[in-house]
Structure 1
Amino acid sequence: MMLSETILVALLAAGAAAFPSESPIEYLKRAPNPGVVISKCASPGMLALAYDDGPYQYTETLIDILDKAGAKGTFFWTGTLYGCIYKQSKAVEKAFKSGHQIASHTWTHSRMGGMSAANIKTEMNKVEQAVINLVGVKPAYMRPPYLDTGGQFLSNMKTLGYKVITDDIDTGDWNNRSPAQSEQQFSSAGASGNGHIPLMHEVYPGTVNTLTPWLISWAQKNNLKLVTVGESFLLFILVSF
């Protein structure tokens, strides 16, 4: 679960006395701005496991794999792509209770770049309301389908208050790339520099059952902290003290 800005202010307030020149709110301003595209973590030493297109039949299995390893993930969920999100209420609640981040991937998984402002708002509001209905929180992060950020999309994300995530490593699972081929993408990119935010999808069993355990092991071998997308920026703010 991504920490809300209210909770973040409370966390930062504990250390504010040591930094009288800046308030917790000023620290908050270092977090990503709505409507700005983010493709990597805020600092090194992290790996943000991020999954698109669910919830689906493999969601609970994926949560179990992450939980067993003490890892957190970010789920960019749609409303209707692989069946209605309300029919996966058990998986949604399980992810939330396990501390994973729930984020938006739009209601119908349509390209956003050519949409009107009204249609973009509808796409976002429907997912937002579904998540509120199921677990009582509002998503603050989203990833656009097909990574399409053209047209009126970014200006509308700014208006709606959403932080926009893309990726810096494409696993290619959506293009029939095998888990072994996806693993090579990470090996080639390496573990240095700001942490990776990969593009991968929970709707493929190879990504859930093979690639994810490999990534957990790869992160451990490279001393990377497995975080949600939201946590990667919270940690940056806290470390920046």
Structure 2
Amino acid sequence: MLANNLAAGVVLLVSSAAALPTMSPLEYVKRAVSPGVIIQKCTNPGMLALAYDDGPYTYTSQLVDILDKGGAKGTFFWTGTLYGCIYNQANAVKKAFASGHQVASHSWSHQRMGSMNANQIRTEMTRVEDALVNLVGVKPAYMRPPYLDTGGQFLSTMKSMNYKVITNDIDSGDWNNRSPQQSQQEFQRAGAGGMGHIPLMHEVYPGTVNTLTPWLINWAKQNNLKLVTVAECLGDAQGMYQPGNFTPTTGPFRC
């Protein structure tokens, strides 16, 4: 009887496995990157995703040059109006995109979206979408919420809009007057092992651009880490933008 039960169990397992769709490991990873779900770190080891908030700003073009020289790809979570109108930084936006860096959303006006209703949240996101379509022809599929506020109707709205929600697993603390040297200690404390890191950094601070970023490029090389976009560190390089062809509106563009 026991032998018959075991045999039946084996047949059931084999039949169930045969009924499952065959997927490569990469496809399994891609399915794990779900819209409206908070993602804090990479799913691929050996990677570091340099991710910057609050721009575009005065230092964007310079930061792109530093990343390009170091063979690094970064992710820019941009706002519409926090540090001036995004359209006033059109050249820097186009330069970052043309260099192969990931452009993503940080909302239009950098407000706490956890306190907003769904319509207000949608407006914050669609205005950034419109700007990026007008400037570089794409709508982002990735975003990082201002103040990392994911409460209220925020996550359900992001899911309905097909946005992957990124936070962080390392905080550089540059927003809290932490020096680049103090920020470096946070990376050293986290270490280079395990799944890759997604840090919280801001491109609006010269210390982050001119001191911390070059140090991170060297630190990554010393630890055999590949410097990639957030989407790539999640095995989702093909999904960093919303699907479809988008037509820019007629200028002039204003915030």
TM-score by length of 2: 0.82
Confirm or deny: 8 A CA contact 2:29 2:234 kept in the other structure: no
Structure 1 residue 233: Cα displacement? 1.9
Structure 2, gaps ≥5 residues long: 1-20, 239-255
Residue aligned with 1:44, SS: coil
> What is the aligned-residue identity percentage?
74
Structure 1 residue 43: Cα displacement? 1.9
Confirm or deny: 8 A CA contact 2:33 2:236 kept in the other structure: no
Confirm or deny: 8 A CA contact 1:42 1:236 kept in the other structure: no
TM-score by length of 1: 0.87
Confirm or deny: 8 A CA contact 1:43 1:194 kept in the other structure: yes
Distance, in Å, in 2 between the alignment partners of 1:51 and 1:29 is: 23
Distance, in Å, in 2 between the alignment partners of 1:24 and 1:168 is: 24
Residue aligned with 1:51, SS: strand
Confirm or deny: 8 A CA contact 2:44 2:235 kept in the other structure: no
Tell me the alpha carbon deviations over residues 97-116 of structure 1, each in whole angstroms, 9 at most, x when there is no partner: 00000000000000011101
Match in the other structure for 1:188: 189
Distance, in Å, in 2 between the alignment partners of 1:115 and 1:200 is: 25
Structure 1 residue 192: Cα displacement? 0.8
Tell me the alpha carbon deviations over residues 167-219 of structure 1, each in whole angstroms, 9 at most, x when there is no partner: 00000000000000000000111111111100000000000000000000000
Structure 1 residue 44: Cα displacement? 1.2
Match in the other structure for 2:16: none
Structure 1 residue 24: Cα displacement? 11
Residue aligned with 1:134, SS: helix
Distance, in Å, in 1 between the alignment partners of 2:84 and 2:181 is: 29
Match in the other structure for 2:171: 170
| Amino acid in structure 1 at the alignment position of 2:64 | I
- The aligned length equals 218
Structure 1 residue 234: Cα displacement? 2.3
| Amino acid in structure 2 at the alignment position of 1:50 | A
Considering fraction of residues, name the structure with more strand.
Answer: 1
Q: How does 1:1-241 map to 2 (within 5 A)?
A: 21-22=22-23, 29-234=30-235
Flag the structure with larger Rg: 2
Structure 1, gaps ≥5 residues long: 1-19
| Amino acid in structure 2 at the alignment position of 1:77 | W
Q: What is the root-mean-square deviation of aligned Cα atoms in Å? A: 1.9
Confirm or deny: 8 A CA contact 2:48 2:225 kept in the other structure: yes
